Structure 1
Amino acid sequence: MTECIREGILADFLLSQRAEVIAVSIFEYNEEMEMKKIRESEYKSGKEDGIAQGIARGAALGEAETIISLIRKKSQKGLDINEIADILELDVCYVKKALDLLSENPDKTDMQVAELIIGLV
């Protein structure tokens, strides 16, 4: 600050506000503390986004599992792709993909097949 005053850089301001400038520069600004606050804020924001994404993915997976279960049951009753799609009000392509995955993975649970569907969509 003294160097700035000698060189005429904001000299009037620094002379009249010397105590406040010193207090702000020494006591109020702490780069490490400010960086910590920023990191904490960004961490919190990222965590909230992650939770929201997890909830959305879980909901989508639960819905897909229910649909796969219904498709499996309708197929076991001998209904064809078009009948299943019509009854469940689903796209024929989705039902076909689900049935293909069920036949390719007979040992997988409805949840595991739903995970495959979610990964493909």
Structure 2
Amino acid sequence: MMKKKIALVLITINLVFFGLTVAQNQILPYPYPGQSSCPRDIQACVDMLGAYAIISPETLSQCCPLLQARLDASLASVCICNTRRIPIREILYYIQRVNRIFYICRILPPPGFICRFLLTSN
């Protein structure tokens, strides 16, 4: 009787994990069709991710027009996320800052978008 319960629990756990892996969103290819690379002056936006930068409409005056005019939302999202290496321990902090930039610049990332930072172990 006990072996049946253990087997049932293990099968249930396997099914749950299988369901979670199948339900993952498709990773969008980079570069996106129509755009081959990020613009060189994207650094104006990446600098806003720094620890001491204040993110406001005034400080993003150079960043927002760049993102809105030249790039579609999906490429803008990838460009900001992939141009700065961040320590693993600070990932939540940087995700909040990226989301704030998107909000102020009125950029709507594609559905299911996950910011994939370049991580360092420092």
TM class, shorter-length: 0.3 to 0.5
Q: Which has the higher contact order (CA 8 A, sep 6+)?
A: 2
Q: Which structure features the higher share of strand residues?
A: 2
TM-score w.r.t. the length of structure 2 is 0.35
Which entry has the higher C-alpha Rg, 1 or 2?
1
TM-score normalised to structure 1 length: 0.35
